[in-house]
Amino acid sequence: MALLAAPQLLVIFGCLSVVYALAVYRRYRKLLESIDDFPGVRTLLSPASKISPFLPPIPGINLGRDFRWDNKYKTFQEAGWDIYAHVSAWPDKRVGYSLADAEAIKEMALNRAVFPKPQIRLIEIYGPNVVTTEDEEWKRHRKVSAPAFSERNNKLVWQETVRIVNEIFAEWGDKDAVSIPHIVDVTLPIALLVISAAGFGRRISWREETDAKPPPGHALTFKQSITTVCNNLFLKVLLPEWIMGLTSKWSRVRQGFYELEAYMGEMIEERQKNLGQPADDADHNKSDLFHSLLVASEAEAASGAPALTPRELMGNIFIFLLAGHETTAHALAFSFGLLACYPDEQQKLYDHITSVVSGGRLPSYEDMHSLTRPLAVMYEALRLFPPVLGPMKKAAQDTTLFTYPASQGNTKGASPEQDQRRPVIIPKGSIVSIHVAGLHYNPRYWENPYAFKPDRFLGNYNKDAFAPFAIGPRACLGRRFSETEAVAVITMIVLRYKIELNPSLFTIIPGESPDATRERLLKAHQVLTMAPANLPLLFRRRA
């Protein structure tokens, strides 16, 4: 049979393309009809497509990776409601909904049968865990994991944080001012060392010797392996295993993940042998998360329930590392950046701390309940710069949510007309996301939401409209761990140093408003979590 000529092939290809385009368009129109064309965003490309994050934002074509963050509450105002629908033509066949309505979010979070969490196998790097599992399996993981976050562990977090910050002070010595080119280069190692001590039970000094040798059977020290893992999580999630062997850098990253797995395996074996033996100072009274996790797992086994397997133990301690490292470090970084931009707020914070911690003594864990303003500063930083922008659920059946009209001003509250809720049809299979930035910048819940006002967290506020730790039964187990660490760091540093803009690395404009300075200084981007792009600060020693 004779081969088709090139013009004939082009005609066939063109006809097939037209047929496919018409099929995609019909599917798109059917999706719109299924939701009564509820207002929102319409694009050609779905955000779930693999190419979408790598393309620039193009109206009607692609949202871009930072759409949620860049627009915050604006998209809701344009749609007219505190829920908006995102319908795309290709390649997804589902409708996406974004929620900035606290009541609808709470209903979704509590109704886990209708809105189950999609499985996130990408972060099962070492095994199933309390974040990636669902239903009965999740309940088993949570029952074992929750007791690990105890008051004893919180106290250990405080003690280790104070120890680490004091080591930093010793390194800085008596310098009048310490220039920090990027504050994350300080906060990330702090968070890493705290999770190493209070999570794994392994103390690491602020400046471990660069020539430290790994123990027998290891190619990296524990600090080298855990640092490699924490600094390359995105790479590990993004690249298949075989690709990581193509370059020497990627091979070292892969080795770091292997090494941490080996260390965790040894720790499980060693600690299982020592369970029930008396505690001593060397193991911090066995208050770290790893030990508590093992104890709880063994207790479950003793009661006849299945214990966590070594792989599940590794999966859970790793998810604690993942959740407790970047998020706390970046919350601290944004907190310090905001305090530098708003010196009046920093003075309020210093006055508050000195009213609680007087006489030149170090703050103690017992002061934690009185140190309300450092926690308020952290909360306001988390509100303005939420670590995760769009935690998702999937509608398991056709259902309905109700929502308010979008607020159009900056005044908290609503007029009678704005209190009229309307139903929103949620077809089975829809992806429903908490739009955390939209929620945190919604004027219905936050007066003048773009302002830095820690005082808003010192009084009554709508806790359902504050979601940096998620909402409902699956809220973050390590919330108190993170809060304890952050309060200790902020208190220790503000007691000794004024946090200022770094004039050698950041242009200071005389007479510029704090809000304008913040806009220039605190540029953020989303990788695994929200992070400052570049944040140079100066720490000036107090007299």
pLDDT greater than 60 at residue 366: yes
When pLDDT is averaged across residues 478-484 and rounded to a whole number, the result is 95
- Supply angle C-alpha 234, 524, 443, rounded to 5: 120
CATH number for 24-129+390-465 (one of 3.20.20.140, 3.30.43.20, 3.20.20.70, 1.10.357.10): it is 3.30.43.20
Q: How far is CA 97 from CA 24, 72, 172, 324, in A?
A: 20, 15, 49, 28
Q: Identify the three-state secondary structure at position 123.
A: helix
pLDDT at position 98: 97
Query: What tens digit of pLDDT does each residue of 208-234 get?
Result: 655 678 999 999 998 889 889 888 887
| Beta-carbon contacts of residue 368 (< 8 Å; ≥ 6 apart) | 158, 484, 487
Phi/psi zone of residue 492: left (φ > 0), alpha (ψ -120 to 50 degrees), beta? alpha
CB atoms within 10 A of CB 501: 18
Phi first, then psi, for residue 500 (nearest 5°) are -130, 165
What span, in angstroms and rounded, lies between the C-alpha atoms of 104 and 40?
17
Quick one: 140-388+469-541 is in which CATH superfamily?
Cytochrome P450 (1.10.630.10)
In which band, very low, low, confident or very high, does the pLDDT at 456 lie, cut at 50, 70 and 90?
A: very high
Confidence (pLDDT) at 417: 61
Residue 458 has a pLDDT of 97
pLDDT at 234: 77
Separation between Cα atoms, residue 99 and residue 109, nearest integer Å: 12
The alpha carbon torsion through 65, 69, 72, 74 (nearest 10 deg) reads -40
Chain-centroid distance of CA 153 in Å reads 21
Residue 535: HSE in the Cβ half-sphere, 13 Å Cα cutoff: 30
* CA dist., res. 335 & res. 193, Å (int): 19
| Start and end residues for every CATH 1.10.630.10 domain found in the chain | 140-388+469-541
Per-residue pLDDT reduced to its tens digit, 272-282: 877 766 555 44
Q: Is 230 annotated as a binding residue?
A: no
Q: What is the pLDDT of residue 274?
A: 74
Q: Is 70 exceeded by the pLDDT of residue 497?
A: yes
With a cut of 70, say whether residue 457 has pLDDT above it. Answer: yes
The secondary structure of 333-387, three-state, reads: HHHHHHHHHCHHHHHHHHHHHHHHCCCCCCCCHHHHHHCHHHHHHHHHHHHHCCC
Q: Where in the chain is the domain with CATH 3.30.43.20?
A: 24-129+390-465
Summary mean pLDDT of the chain:
90
d(Cα 474, Cα 483) in Å, to the nearest integer? 18
- Give the model's confidence band at 414: pLDDT under 50 very low, under 70 low, under 90 confident, else very high: low
Task: Give the chain's radius of gyration (CA, Å).
Answer: 25
Is residue 91 reached through a cis peptide bond, with omega within 30 degrees of 0 on the bond before it? yes
Confidence of residue 245 (pLDDT cuts 50, 70, 90): confident
Residue 389 in contact with residue 434, Cβ under 8 Å?
no
DSSP code, position 134: -
Residue 450 near residue 418 (C-beta atoms within 8 A): no
CA–CA gap between residue 252 and residue 225 (Å, rounded): 10
Q: What is the pLDDT of residue 1?
A: 47
Q: What's the number of CA atoms in the CB half-sphere (13 Å) around residue 333?
A: 33
Cα–Cα distance measured from residue 499 to residue 356, given in angstroms and rounded to the nearest whole number: 20
CA atoms of 456 and 148, how far apart (whole Å): 31
Higher pLDDT, 123 or 336: 336
